[in-house]
A and B are shown apart, each in its own frame.
Chain A
Amino acid sequence: METAANAVEGGFDDAVLAGQAAFRAQMDAMARPGTVQPVAPLTAPPGLLSAVAGSVALTLCDQDTPLWLDPRMQADGDVKAWLAFHCGAPLAHTPADAHFALVSSPGELIALENFAQGSQDYPDRSTTLILQVESLTGGEELALEGPGIKDRHTIAPKPMPRHFLAQWTQNNARFPRGVDLVLAGDDAVVCLPRTTRISRLES
């Protein structure tokens, strides 16, 4: 396979500075669950992959982190070639082998329990899912509580995985095991670590 031009274009211009800026945003987003942390569009990936999700992937994924792609992303040869060139991350054979997952259609995502949950001894060996959402607002209102959140925080991203609240309650119950979520919007990220408790906002 000869590399297509759109597989090699659109990476970080300055890998160090761009990677640090994007990392800072994700770190803050993980530390303060639910806050919207702006991420500049530092990448220009092809196909289905968004600029923000692309930046997150280039920041977090490398040779040592098997990556799982949802079926639509999996069918996009340009995205796969771009990720292979810029991250070098191998594709995970199964969701349970994945360190990271890139999800282009969160509404059609398989159940969270299919992904690596980590072990009691090594809870860090779980999958971090990067969900490419259409918008960080306008969805069902969710109330967040837990470490890193003063009192309570509200978000309304869309779309979210099916039966999300029920799945998330199960995810909480597996603690210290469990997956973490990165929601990649148009120009920002919001993170939902496994420590965050989520409920439907009572009006």
Chain B
Amino acid sequence: MDIMTTAPAIRIERAEKRYGGAAGFVAVSDVSLTVAPGSIHGLLGPNGAGKTTTLKMLLGLVRPSGGTFEILGEAAGPGVRARVGFLPEQPYFSPLLTAAEVLMLHGRLSGMIPSEVSSRTGELLARVGLEGREKTRLEKYSRGMLQRVGIAQALIASPDVVVFDEPASGLDPMGQRDVRNLMIALAGEGTTVLLSSHQLSEVEAICDEVTILNRGRVVAEGSIDDLLNVAGRTSVRARGTAPALPADVQSLMEDVAVSGGVWVFSVPDSAVRAVIDILDDNGWAIESVVPKRQSLEDYFGRMLEEPVHSTGAQVMSR
């Protein structure tokens, strides 16, 4: 585990993928990404942004046109991939195999011996909600159940790094919650999770850091808090019976929302103390005072509207 503490779990430097030669289509350009050990890192972007291509280059499924790829401090070749689990988007397995046979295949490909795979199969299927389904052929599985088998195969060899491409795809809300909890539990056990997802709420809820791609380039990266907190403004939540907030507060507030006597609004950081005092003096109950934060959805939408610079510079703005 020494290496886990000294090297990033995943490091991608200036990744590039071109199709059709120098004048061809550029799918990924100058993408760099560092994922800390034991963290959950989100990879976001619209369709065609280059997320899956980047993951495929990392995992040897697509030959990069340029860049360096490292996993656990080693060049991302087949050897180190024994310590990586990968869930492709919408995984599909031979319908004539059973879940146990799929796990046996993937376990053995990761260097496990058959008895190890067998002893882990039941535990793992239970963990993904498929207890007692070892011997059922996959032709009898629903879409969501196949997704769960996909997650199980990614975890069969107790990998140090897991790469999930749209893990909630095909799952019902309860299944999505289970997957979210699973990823949090994995990170808690020290496993690094790289998550590519369209589900912004999922990413916002569980990721420590995110990288946003658009048109093959990184347009933003950083911790969720850094990206979403609005500089210089604080969000206040207050409850009262009066039909309106005091006039002194009204002159400072923005982004107001009211529901059932609860007011949520933002004020400049410098005015927070004064606003709290005014509300307090007028009999309002202060429910929360937190840094103002925009939703990831709003942030994401705004990022995608901004032009992508030809230099590929990483945008860190809020």
Q: Do A and B come from one complex?
A: no
Q: Which residues of A contact B (CB under 8 A)?
A: none
Q: Name B residues whose Cβ lies closer than 8 Å to a Cβ of A.
A: none
